[in-house]
Amino acid sequence: MDSIRIQGGVELQGKVRIQGSKNACLPVLAATLLTGETSLIRNCPKIADVYAMVSLLRELGCSVTWQGNALAVDADSVRGEEIGSEAVTGMRSSLCLLGALIGRCGQVVMEHPGGCVIGSRPIDLHLAALQQMGVTFQEKEGKLLANADRLCGASIHLPFPSVGATENVLLAAVLAQGDTCLTGAALEPEITALCRYLKQCGAEIDGEGTSRLVVRGGRRLYGTEFVIPADRIVAGTYLFACIGTGGNVFLEQAPWEEMDAVLELARSMGAGLCTAEDGVYVQAPDRPSTPERIFTAPHPGFPTDLQSVVLAVAAVSQGETLIRETIFENRFRVAEELRKMGACVEERGADSVLVRGVEELRGGPVEAKELRGGAALVAAGLMARGETTVTGCRYINRGYENICRDLRELGARITGA
Ligand code: EPZ
């Protein structure tokens, strides 16, 4: 079933365990290709994008088996460098296989990973960086052919801290001949997780957690055991949903140390927060208020992946707020669906919307068109009066293991996909 039904107006109460991070798990799974051995990756979220990545690894000749929520990946017999088309075009995150396969096989043939509704998602930064390492690219019948007779370390600067481009450089650099110095690297926690995994495999990487990464290339890499950190975006989704519905929740395993900007905004909206070793307590205000301006930014700024759910909460908050999206060029698609529920959201130029809080939203039929907008519609349904049906849940299942199960554990009246 591709739809979720929600009876709104119920305060969220209780505790829920936060799943493993989609955006940390995918590059680590790609990195398992770099060792000819077996790695055990624990706390993998059981989501569509991980299932797609598992299929891609199997297509490439890896043996991949689930052991509970761990994945055992044996990359000894990686045979092909042709990455299957259907999985690649539907999933941007397979792009990080490019760097890993170039490192392991020296050549890759893949469908051009297209854009999606939130933006054109170009890959110019990936290509420019890998070209500096000796990779040549050709486009042929819609496919991207990459070749590196000899992959060499290089001094590379990213003009924008692209998460994916940073990951691809790291994945190519660990097996390249010579050292790579990457400046302008992304600071997202998922990069740190990837560095930690690679170092556990035997890679030598300095500068973890900074925008300057130095990789000593050519080291032999070994299989290892690794635990995927909890998903900061899923934790933030439930945190803001609680702020919007009222109530109080405990988000078990929430990686709050990676969420400063999220916690800062939550407090400014009136939430009471108490961090503990194993998670974070959230006490919602009677009615949230929003700051005059909210804007997304690369980490450690406010994450673009939580912009839609904050937009939904701002729709029922006191006052008005200008939300500016600085990362993707089309990440306000959810606004048209929120307006159907009575939200007052006006476009302000290409990259901003003005949200005037209303007393309450009206439940009704709405459609998810992408992952985080879909999660925002579920949050809106929790806050709205009456029943909301969200269709297009296949998008939500790409990033949330089971959003209905999680929210039911917090007392929501929700059924569906
Ligand atoms: C990663 O996407 C995440 N995906 C995204 O999460 C996240 O929103 C994004 O980083 C920003 O934090 C995964 O990790 C699988 P970027 P990525 O390269 O790597 C432009 C979610 O909902 N750009 O940092 O694709 C690009 O168009 C997803 O979980 C270029 O112009 O993000 C975008 O505007 C959505 N040229 C901006 O940079 C390039 O070569 C950020 O892209 C690469 C990117």
Three-point CA angle 43, 45, 48, nearest 5°: 155
**Res. 314 pLDDT band, cuts 50 70 90:** very high
Per-domain residue ranges of the chain: 3-19+231-416, 22-227
Residue 186 Cα: closest atom of ligand 1: 24
Q: Tell me, using a 6 A CB cutoff, whether residue 160 lines ligand 1.
A: yes
Looking at residue 106, its amino acid is G
Q: Tell me, using a 6 A CB cutoff, whether residue 398 lines ligand 1.
A: no
* Protein residue with its CA nearest to atom 26 in ligand 1: 121
* Protein residue with its CA nearest to atom 35 in ligand 1: 305
Which of 96, 116, 242, 393 is catalytic? The answer is 116
**pLDDT tens, residue by residue, 29-63:** 999 999 989 999 999 999 999 999 999 899 889 99
Cα–Cα separations (whole angstroms), residue 402 to 19, 46, 242, 307: 9, 9, 17, 21
Write down the pLDDT at residue 122: 85
Percent of the chain with pLDDT over 70: 94
**Which fold would CATH assign to domain 3-19+231-416?**
UDP-n-acetylglucosamine1-carboxyvinyl-transferase; Chain (3.65.10)
Q: Tell me, using a 6 A CB cutoff, whether residue 28 lines ligand 1.
A: no
In CATH terms, are 3-19+231-416 and 22-227 the same topology? yes
Residues in a beta bridge with 230: 20
Q: Tell me, using a 6 A CB cutoff, whether residue 92 lines ligand 1.
A: yes
116 given a catalytic annotation: yes
- Dump the DSSP string for 247-293: EEEEEET--GGG-HHHHHHHHHTT-EEEEETTEEEEE--SS-B--SE
Average pLDDT value for the chain: 93
* Protein residue with its CA nearest to atom 15 in ligand 1: 93
Total length of the chain: 417
Q: Which residues contact 336 (CB under 8 A, 6 or more apart)?
A: none
Residue with tokens 């975006």: 233
Q: Can you tell me the mean pLDDT for 386-399?
A: 96
Percent of the chain with pLDDT over 90: 83
Q: Can you tell me the mean pLDDT for 269-292?
A: 96
Q: Tell me, using a 6 A CB cutoff, whether residue 327 lines ligand 1.
A: yes
**pLDDT of 4 higher than 90:** yes
* Protein residue with its CA nearest to atom 27 in ligand 1: 121
Q: Tell me, using a 6 A CB cutoff, whether residue 157 lines ligand 1.
A: no
**pLDDT tens, residue by residue, 110-141:** 877 655 666 676 899 999 999 999 999 988 88
Instruction: Lay out the sheet containing 204-206: strands in order across.
Output: 155-157, 179-183, 212-216, 204-206
Q: How far is the CA of 124 from the centre of ligand 1 (A)?
A: 12
Which CATH architecture describes the domain 22-227? Alpha-beta prism (3.65)
Range picked from 76-80, 216-220, 314-318 for highest mean pLDDT: 314-318
